[in-house]
Amino acid sequence: MTADKLTNMANEQIGVGAKQPSVRPNRKPVKHLGPFGRFVLATVALALCFSVPLCDLVWFAIKSQLYSHIILIPFISLYLVWLRRQSLPPHSEPDRRLAVLPAVAGVVAIVGYWLASRSTVELTIEDYLAWTTFSFFLFFVAVCSLFLGKETLRAVAFPICFVIFVIPFPTFLLDWIDTFLQHGSAIAADGLFRLSGTPVFRQGLAFQLPGFSLQVAPECSGIHSSLVLFITSLLAGYLFLHSPWKRAVLAVAVIPLGILRNGFRVFTIGQLCVHIGPEMIHSPIHRRGGPLFFALSLVPFFLLLIVLCKSDRVRDKIKPKQLGV
């Protein structure tokens, strides 16, 4: 065999080898998102759809004294879920029928806002944020129902519902609450004045005291302190109480407690103006005394919580004995 033939045979073998497909490395299988991943993705997509009103809400809450708590609400809800992370049930199939009602209600809310904004009704910034944030909350509940299992949804129902406190009050509801607290505080203050023996004449929200007249203004309704105390009562009941009716007692007790606290504040300012001088109406205890009276209202609140907690423990001890354990 000549050298030329050997060279041609070698070239043919090299050419054949070059035509063989190259071996590609094995690709890793694509991992699909689990239920929790789909839930997070859907929540992020929902937040992006409502990004404009949510950004307006954050900016509004930063500048507002009444709604300053809104910034903390999502973090509190996440913390409550984190506390229960060890006791969450295993994955179960979601009942997607539960998502229909909140989804439809969310559409109705956003359409209602759209119609109201194009009518002759004048909407305030609170109304705009109340409508849009309420719609966002309803859609968020629908997302939870779509991707979370029934048992998981039941276990985190309170943290999910707690998100409702990011919604500002619409104007009509805020005015009604203000009026209710104003008149309740005036009645409580009137009772305290009479119990103390101070001569007083009350006409609605106005008080005539010796040498001084006093009126309970909307700014003196104590709505911010009462709202914070109500949110605190719901959290305390969820964390420390087991009985639903005791949780309800703790939350409902906030209403008379808030009225008595604010009535005591009006009574204190009135007594200072009577016994020291009318200039006490401009004193720090009137202008910046809210946190002090709020701290005082925490004393009976925590006393009631302790009583309810002890009764819960007694019930838990008695129940096994009744079962013969």
Q: What is the dihedral of CA 11, 17, 20, 21, to 10 degrees?
A: -110
Q: Measured in Å, how far apart are the chain's first and last C-alpha atoms?
A: 101
- Binned at pLDDT 50, 70 and 90, residue 32 comes out as low
The residues that bridge with 215 in the sheet, in sequence order, are 206
pLDDT average, residue stretch 212-217: 86
* Angstrom distances, CA of residue 175 to CA of 31, 218, 262: 53, 9, 17
Please choose, from the candidates 111, 133, 113, the residue with its C-alpha nearest in 3D space to the C-alpha of residue 121. 113
- Binned at pLDDT 50, 70 and 90, residue 324 comes out as very low
- Binned at pLDDT 50, 70 and 90, residue 26 comes out as low
Residue whose entry in the numeric block shows the structure tokens 């209710």: 180
Question: Is residue 11 over pLDDT 60?
Answer: no
Burial class (CB in 10 A: 0-12, 13-18, 19+), 224: middle
Question: Which run of H or of E encompasses 215?
Answer: strand 212-215
Average pLDDT, the chain: 85
For 260, phi then psi, to 5°, come to -65, -40
Question: Is residue 35 over pLDDT 50?
Answer: yes
- Contact by Cβ (8 Å): 301, 233: yes
CA torsion through residues 248, 249, 252, 258, sign: negative
Q: How far apart are CA 94 and CA 92, in angstroms?
A: 6
Q: What pLDDT is recorded for position 7?
A: 52
- Binned at pLDDT 50, 70 and 90, residue 321 comes out as very low
Q: What pLDDT is recorded for position 21?
A: 52
- 111-115, 174-178, 314-318 — which is least confidently predicted? 314-318
Q: What is the dihedral of CA 113, 115, 116, 121, to 10 degrees?
A: 170
**Percent of the chain whose pLDDT exceeds 70:** 86
The residues that bridge with 208 in the sheet, in sequence order, are 201, 213
Domain ranges of the chain: 35-168, 173-316
pTM of the model: 0.81
Burial class (CB in 10 A: 0-12, 13-18, 19+), 249: middle
Q: How far apart are CA 45 and CA 36, in angstroms?
A: 14
Question: Is residue 30 over pLDDT 50?
Answer: no
pLDDT digits (tens, 9 = 90+) for 52-103: 999 999 999 999 989 999 999 999 999 999 998 888 887 778 888 889 999 9
Q: Which 3 state secondary structure label does DSSP give 32?
A: coil
Q: How many CB atoms lie within 10 A of CB 81?
A: 15
Q: What pLDDT is recorded for position 36?
A: 76
pLDDT digits (tens, 9 = 90+) for 264-304: 999 998 888 888 888 888 887 777 778 888 898 999 999 99
pLDDT average, residue stretch 166-191: 93
The residues that bridge with 207 in the sheet, in sequence order, are 202, 214
Question: Is residue 43 over pLDDT 80?
Answer: yes
Residue whose entry in the numeric block shows the structure tokens 């006393």: 303
pLDDT digits (tens, 9 = 90+) for 311-320: 877 665 555 4
Q: How far apart are CA 264 and CA 271, in angstroms?
A: 10
- Contact by Cβ (8 Å): 54, 74: no
HSE (CB half, 13 Å, CA atoms) of 307? 9
pLDDT average, residue stretch 29-33: 52
